[in-house]
């Protein structure tokens, strides 16, 4: 009988007990470049945050690109998968759905304040007992403050909503393969033999965006991936169909209210 695996198995079992019993718990994992975390779900909410590297988070409702200083609030029970762009140092928080009535109720990209970033680091260093935190202790106050910060996280425009209509889904999938495609909505309507007004109406209904807005969002999120790998702005601009680097930079700043270098900088 192999006894060498017992300590690891016991540690994992205790960790699972901790996470089930504690309203908030920390989880630190480092992943190599291009690592793929297969589809899975959690019984708890998860704040997916990386102190290093960029993550592409995919669910059935869409895709998010998450650079450092940003995070994804993943609601309990939602299946998701993660692709790591470069080496990723993930520092997640697992939060019980009943830990606070003011927790966000939808999956979304959020900003991470300097205070919450330090609280997350503190949470990684705590060794939770197999009982919930006692409120009037340092550990309990740290976790209470984390919950307070989660309630006021700013929502960020890092989401790309995918449509369910097969015709629109076909357009979106083809566009993501060739984001420099400048075909108009009329061009796509003609290819699919569908009335252009029908496609326009369905785009807004299913994605909350017009066709042009959706394509712009897809380009910007792909730009975040390319910027994270060190691609030059001029190459990104041309690859995504912008007329010039300045046109790309203007659109980036309009969307995120920051230059690309500012966007990736720590708070």
pLDDT tens column, 199-244 = 899 999 999 999 999 999 999 889 988 887 788 889 999 889 888 8
CATH at residue 182: 1.10.10.60
Question: Are residue 240 and residue 125 in the same domain, yes or no?
Answer: no
In a domain, 246, yes or no: yes
Per-residue pLDDT, 227: 86
CA distance 69 to 91: 12
- The domain boundary residue, chosen from 151, 171, 186: 151
pLDDT tens column, 179-193: 888 899 899 988 888
Mean of pLDDT values over 96-101: 91
pLDDT of residue 118 exceeding 70, the answer is yes
Mean of pLDDT values over 135-151: 87
Per-residue pLDDT, 265: 67
Helix 166-177 vs helix 211-228: angle between axes, to the nearest 10 degrees? 40
Mean pLDDT, the chain, integer: 85
Q: What pairs with residue 95 in β-bridges?
A: 24, 45
Q: What is the pTM of this model?
A: 0.77
How many domains does the chain contain in total? 2
Helices (H), 22-163: 114-125, 138-151
Q: What is the DSSP letter of 162?
A: P
Per-residue pLDDT, 130: 44
Six-digit token string for 86: 């470069």
**Long-range pairs for 238-242: beta carbons < 8 A, 24 or more residues apart:** 238/180, 239/179, 239/180, 240/179, 240/180, 241/179, 241/180, 241/181, 241/182
R_g (Cα) of the chain, nearest Å: 21
Per-residue pLDDT, 204: 94
pLDDT of residue 267 exceeding 60, the answer is no
Question: Are residue 87 and residue 110 in the same domain, yes or no?
Answer: yes
Secondary structure of residue 37 in the 3-state scheme: strand
Q: Which residue has the higher pLDDT, 137 or 165?
A: 165
Report the run of H or E that residue 172 belongs to, with start and end. helix 166-177
Strand stretches in 96-235, DSSP E: 108-111, 159-161
């Amino acid at each position: 009988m192999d006894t060498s695996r017992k300590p690891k198995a016991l540690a994992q079992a205790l960790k699972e007990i901790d996470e089930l019993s504690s309203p908030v718990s920390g989880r630190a994992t480092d992943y190599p470049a291009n690592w793929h975390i297969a589809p899975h779900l959690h019984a708890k909410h998860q704040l997916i945050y990386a102190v290093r590297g960029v993550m592409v988070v995919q669910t059935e409702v869409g895709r998010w690109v998450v650079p450092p200083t940003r995070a994804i609030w993943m609601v309990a029970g939602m299946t998701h998968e993660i692709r790591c762009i470069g080496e990723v140092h993930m520092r997640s928080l697992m939060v019980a759905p009943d830990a606070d009535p003011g927790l966000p109720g939808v999956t979304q990209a959020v900003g991470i304040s300097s205070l919450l970033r330090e609280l997350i680091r503190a949470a990684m260093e705590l060794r939770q007992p197999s009982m919930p935190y006692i409120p009037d202790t340092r550990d309990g106050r740290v976790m209470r403050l984390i919950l307070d910060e989660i309630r006021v996280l700013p929502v960020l425009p890092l989401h790309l909503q995918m449509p369910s209509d097969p015709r629109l889904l076909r357009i979106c999938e083809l566009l993501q393969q060739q984001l420099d495609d400048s075909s108009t909505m009329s061009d796509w309507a003609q290819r699919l033999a569908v009335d252009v007004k029908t496609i326009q109406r369905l785009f807004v209904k299913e994605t909350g965006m017009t066709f042009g807005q959706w394509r712009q969002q897809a380009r910007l999120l792909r730009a975040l991936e390319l910027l994270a790998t060190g691609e030059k702005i001029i190459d990104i601009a041309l690859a995504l169909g912008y007329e010039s680097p300045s046109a790309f930079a203007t659109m980036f700043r309009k969307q995120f209210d920051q230059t690309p270098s500012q966007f990736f900088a720590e708070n």
